[in-house]
Chain A
Amino acid sequence: QLQLQESGPGLLKPSETLSLACTVSGDSVSNTNHCWGWIRQPPGKGLEWIGSFYYGGSSSYNPSLKSRVTKSVDTAKNQFSLKLSSVTAADTAVYYCVAIFGGYDAFDIWGQGTMVTVSS
């Protein structure tokens, strides 16, 4: 069974760059059948899609975040990563890595989430 585990800094200051990694277990991040992505949830609020991609294929990002988002893949570590630049308090949220895995055409695999707080 596919599992995802996020890792991140926990706390960072305004204007810094957020770096998050998602470690994949149970399959390979280079499996082109799966879609990998990130979704976030501010405290007490709803879900917001950040972006998603297929390994070696297309990537899509939320237009409201696209200019600040960079994604990368490390096949040796079986990880994919997200960088979000110039963070503000509005970027405070639980960040989930997600996958479309089981053929459901929906994000059916979610990591447990990692809380990121932006504060001076």
Chain B
Amino acid sequence: QPVLTQPPSASGTPGQRVTISCSGSNSNIEVNTVNWYQQLPGTAPKLLIYSNNLRPSGVPERFSGSKSGTSASLAISGLQSEDEADYYCASWDDSLDGPVFGGGTKLTVL
């Protein structure tokens, strides 16, 4: 059972803005930063957002992250067909003394 909770699926049409939520607790998200990973079909995950809302070099500006309390969100604006992927949130957990992940959200571009 994943420590962080994400909706199993999300969808949107091209050009739309979609958000994916990630819920945690006072041992992880509330007190540590959140990272987001994108996993395209058949490939390894790729770091998309780190430290709640920062983008690694090469990640488009239409990907953004936010955090409030024990929850975090990933927003994708100007949705494109190539954004169809699984998205995972992650955060350090002080009880586990290691990183924990959400169960993943499968994004479908209609």
Contact = CB atoms under 8 A, between A and B. Distances in A.
Interface of A: 45-49, 51-52, 60-63, 96, 102, 104-108, 110-113
Contacts of B35: 106-107
A108 B101 contact: no
B26 interface: no
Interface residues of B, number: 25
Interface of B: 2, 33, 35, 37, 43-47, 50-51, 54, 56-57, 88, 90, 96-104
A113 B44 contact: yes
B71 to A, nearest CB: 18
Contacts of A104: 47, 50-51, 54, 56
A-side interface mostly: loop
A49 B101 CA distance: 8
17 contacts: A45-B103, A46-B2, A46-B102, A46-B103, A46-B104, A48-B101, A49-B99, A60-B98, A63-B96, A102-B56, A104-B50, A106-B47, A106-B90, A108-B47, A108-B56, A110-B44, A113-B44
